[in-house]
């Protein structure tokens, strides 16, 4: 029975304290140990058997003996002693300071003795102080304070940080409800007053972000949260919560939102990658330029998407080397969109570092395809202009010379009486006439004279062109036709057919011995940039006439594709045969708004595609 009572007392004490390091013992009426827990051994190294039956005061320090005996007498009278501090001897003879508490037991006048080694209490107090200091510092750093309102007395409590937020101190201000509400901005004050008044009648949580005007006049934005507290009867007794200065946070949020809006509205593609160059965010313009959605590129490296067969490997290596060195990249690179269409990209990449380590990359893409084409067109036009001036001067001088030669030839013819010279004079007349014809045609071409457009049956004229040029081709070259346009075309007939003839002759020259040339025509409802490298974009149109000249010749090296439309360019070792060639086709297409594409692989042949816009405003009688 006694053991059960003791156990009952021990369980009660353990439930109350919940501390495993608490010394617990049951003393008899005369102060001897009759039960104790295992903490005694941990604290003093005494075994239970060495203490049971011995007086509690046996190991109390002599100078504290009287205090211990006095406490036992008080318990014998039914009184408690809760703060008895005295030294207790360990088994090794050393003394440790212990704080004891004695309370009357359940039966038989036992005494419940509990104790805590003061070293643990001092350590706990030190930890509490350290934690309090850390908490105070943390709340100061994040500008977070706490407050409470006693709903019966209306007393308002502020923590130190709330004073700091208001630019006040406890010495110069005592918080009261009415005066505290007056710190809110006039436009927000009514909201706070309504919440506070409601708290005294129907207490409820609140959560708001409003403005205050500090004692120094500065306006700050604060975030206030409140929770009501209730007693056992369900009555609201207190309102408490947190109060945080979020001004800097709100400003930062506004800046982030503004930057996000700028990034989303800019025409430049913006990409943010992690330290491994994997995509974590792209803006709308990136999706528009590349045709890839954010979901398709998220978590992946852009190189595997945007680089293609004609992307310069040296430029790719330059990007890698520069970024590895932590430097900014600024290059022009040929990329490919989701549909396989190439485009020129002005690429800017900046590494973002933190603590000397690259943590992100920000890339900005500008589609400069149109700009590069305009630059190339301008360059070619300037070359053609210079050639035109040069050719015009030469033709003028040549015509003057030919006029002198022609005039003198006519005089020789009139005065000649020698039959043997008649043949020579006739040859001079024919040569002079031929030379004059050459200069006239050249002048007509380079002067960019206005040409009267014609309506032609396209497929029929293309067949005539094949019939006129193919007899001069070697027997091993077969010229075929696949003509499916089946309509009339509004164009400058002679210049247009000269351009087609030029393409057929170039195709013949690309075939060394045997091969095939195919001339095609068809109606297309849209321009297809994937047919080859776009040299010129055609004018926007409802429909297009597509003409292609395909050969099985030696092809064109990709490094020469941008040069073949330059005047006098040739890949042949013998340059004497080089002339205006494709440069005249380019100039003609540029003036008429035609598109030009070239698709070529070395030793696999070449296809020239000519896109002719068919706007109904210019072509009112196209259909046959």
| pLDDT tens, residue by residue, 584-620 | 788 788 888 899 999 988 888 999 999 999 865 444 4
Q: Looking at the domain that runs over 454-613, which CATH code has it been given?
A: 3.30.565.10
**CA 149 to CA 166: how far, in whole Å?**
18
Task: Report whether pLDDT(225) > 80.
Answer: yes
How many other C-beta atoms are found inside a 10 Å radius of the C-beta of residue 556?
Answer: 20
- Average pLDDT over the chain, rounded to an integer: 82
Q: What is the mean pLDDT of residues 71-90?
A: 88
**Three-class secondary structure of residue 364 per DSSP:** strand
Residues 6+ apart with CB under 8 A from 263: 270, 283
CATH for the stretch 268-367: 3.30.450.20
pLDDT for residue 304:
80
Q: How confident is the model at residue 60 (pLDDT cuts 50, 70, 90)?
A: very high
Q: Is 90 exceeded by the pLDDT of residue 183?
A: yes
Reading the block at residue 163, the tokens are 């004073």
Q: Is 423 left (phi over 0), alpha (psi -120 to 50) or beta?
A: alpha
Which CATH fold topology does 2-124 show? Beta-Lactamase (3.30.450)
Confidence at 150, pLDDT banded by 50, 70, 90 = very high
Would you tell me how many other CB atoms lie within 10 Å of the CB of residue 502? 20
Q: Domain 142-250 belongs to what topology?
A: Beta-Lactamase (3.30.450)
**pLDDT confidence of residue 6:** 42
How many whole angstroms separate alpha carbon 165 and alpha carbon 198? 25
What integer pLDDT is reported at residue 496 of this predicted model? 87
Q: How high is the pLDDT of residue 440?
A: 66
Mean pLDDT for the stretch of residues 50-62: 93
Do 516 and 607 form a contact (C-beta atoms < 8 A)? Answer: no
Confidence of residue 140 (pLDDT cuts 50, 70, 90): low
pLDDT of residue 585: 82
Q: Please check the confidence at residue 59 and state whether its pLDDT lies above 50.
A: yes
With cut-offs at 50, 70 and 90, classify the pLDDT of residue 16: very low
Alpha carbon distances (Å) from 53 to 34, 206, 523: 6, 62, 116
Q: Is 416 helix (H, G, I), strand (E, B) or coil?
A: coil
Which range in 2-6, 55-59, 75-79, 199-203 is most confidently predicted, on average pLDDT? 55-59
pLDDT at 47 over 50: yes
- Asked if the model's pLDDT at residue 557 lies above 90, the reply is no
Instruction: Summarize pLDDT for 513-542 with one digit per residue, the tens.
Output: 899 999 999 999 888 877 788 888 898 888
The CA distance from 624 to 621, in Å, is 8
Place of tokens 């039959």: 419
Give the position of tokens 């055609």: 538
User: For the segment 422-470, what is each residue's pLDDT rounded down to a tens digit?
Assistant: 777 777 777 677 667 656 656 665 555 555 678 999 999 999 889 888 8
Residue pair 36/51 in contact (Cβ under 8 Å)? The answer is yes
pLDDT at 434: 62
Is the Cβ–Cβ distance between 368 and 346 less than 8 Å?
yes
| Mean pLDDT, residues 182-202 taken together | 92
In the three-class reduction of DSSP (H, G, I as helix; E, B as strand; rest coil), residue 133 is classed as: helix
């Amino acid at each position: 029975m006694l053991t059960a009572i003791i156990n009952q007392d021990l369980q009660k004490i353990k439930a109350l304290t919940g501390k495993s390091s608490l010394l617990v013992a049951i003393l008899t009426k005369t102060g001897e140990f009759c039960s104790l827990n295992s903490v005694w051994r941990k604290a003093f190294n005494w075994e239970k058997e060495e203490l049971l039956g011995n007086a509690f005061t046996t190991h109390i320090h002599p100078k504290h003996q009287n205090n211990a005996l006095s406490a036992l007498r008080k318990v014998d009278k039914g009184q408690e002693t809760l703060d008895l501090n005295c030294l207790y001897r360990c088994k090794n003879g050393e003394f440790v300071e212990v704080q004891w508490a004695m309370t009357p037991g359940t039966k038989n006048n036992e005494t419940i003795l509990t104790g805590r080694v003061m070293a643990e209490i001092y350590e706990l107090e030190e930890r509490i102080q350290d934690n309090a200091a850390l908490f105070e510092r943390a709340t100061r750093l994040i500008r977070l304070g706490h407050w409470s309102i006693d709903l019966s007395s209306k007393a308002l409590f502020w923590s130190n940080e709330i004073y700091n937020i208001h630019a006040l101190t406890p010495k110069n201000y005592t918080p009261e409800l009415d005066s505290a509400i007056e710190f809110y901005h006039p436009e927000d004050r009514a909201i706070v007053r309504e919440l506070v008044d409601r708290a005294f009648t129907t207490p409820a949580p609140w959560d708001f972000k409003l403005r205050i005007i500090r004692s120094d006049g500065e306006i700050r934005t604060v975030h206030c949260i409140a929770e009501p507290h209730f007693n056992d009867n369900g009555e609201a007794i207190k309102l408490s919560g947190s109060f945080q200065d979020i001004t800097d946070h709100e400003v930062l949020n506004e800046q982030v939102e503004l930057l996000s809006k700028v990034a989303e509205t800019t025409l430049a593609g913006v990409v943010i990658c992690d330290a491994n160059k994997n995509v974590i965010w792209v803006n709308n313009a990136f999706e528009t330029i590349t045709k890839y959605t954010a979901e398709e590129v998220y978590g992946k490296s852009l190189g595997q998407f945007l680089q293609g067969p004609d992307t310069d490997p040296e430029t790719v290596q330059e990007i890698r080397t520069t970024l590895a060195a932590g430097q900014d990249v600024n290059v022009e690179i040929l990329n490919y969109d989701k549909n396989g269409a190439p485009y020129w990209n002005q690429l800017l990449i900046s590494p973002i570092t933190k603590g000397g380590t690259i943590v992100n990359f920000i890339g900005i893409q500008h589609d400069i395809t149109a700009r590069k084409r305009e630059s190339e067109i301008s360059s070619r036009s300037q070359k053609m202009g210079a050639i035109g001036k040069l050719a015009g001067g030469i033709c003028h001088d040549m015509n003057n010379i030919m006029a002198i030669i022609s005039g003198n030839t006519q005089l020789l013819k009139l005065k000649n009486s020698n039959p043997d010279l008649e043949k020579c004079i006739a040859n001079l007349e024919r040569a002079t006439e031929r030379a004059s014809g050459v200069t006239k045609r050249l002048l007509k071409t380079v002067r960019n004279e206005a040409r009267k457009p014609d309506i032609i049956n396209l497929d029929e004229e293309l067949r005539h062109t094949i019939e006129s040029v193919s007899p001069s081709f070697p027997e091993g070259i077969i010229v075929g036709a696949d003509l499916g346009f089946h309509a009339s075309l509004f164009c400058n007939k002679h210049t247009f057919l000269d351009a087609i003839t030029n393409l057929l002759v170039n195709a013949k020259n690309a075939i060394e011995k045997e091969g095939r040339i195919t001339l095609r025509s068809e109606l297309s409802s849209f321009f297809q940039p994937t047919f080859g490298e776009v040299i010129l974009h055609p004018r926007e149109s409802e429909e297009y006439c597509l003409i292609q000249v395909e050969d099985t010749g030696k092809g064109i090296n990709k490094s020469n594709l941008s040069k073949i439309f330059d005047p006098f360019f040739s890949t042949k070792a013998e340059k004497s045969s080089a002339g205006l060639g494709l440069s005249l086709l380019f100039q003609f297409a540029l003036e008429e708004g035609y598109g030009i594409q070239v698709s070529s692989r070395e030793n696999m042949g070449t296809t020239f595609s000519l896109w002719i816009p068919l706007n109904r405003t210019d072509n009112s009688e196209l259909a046959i």
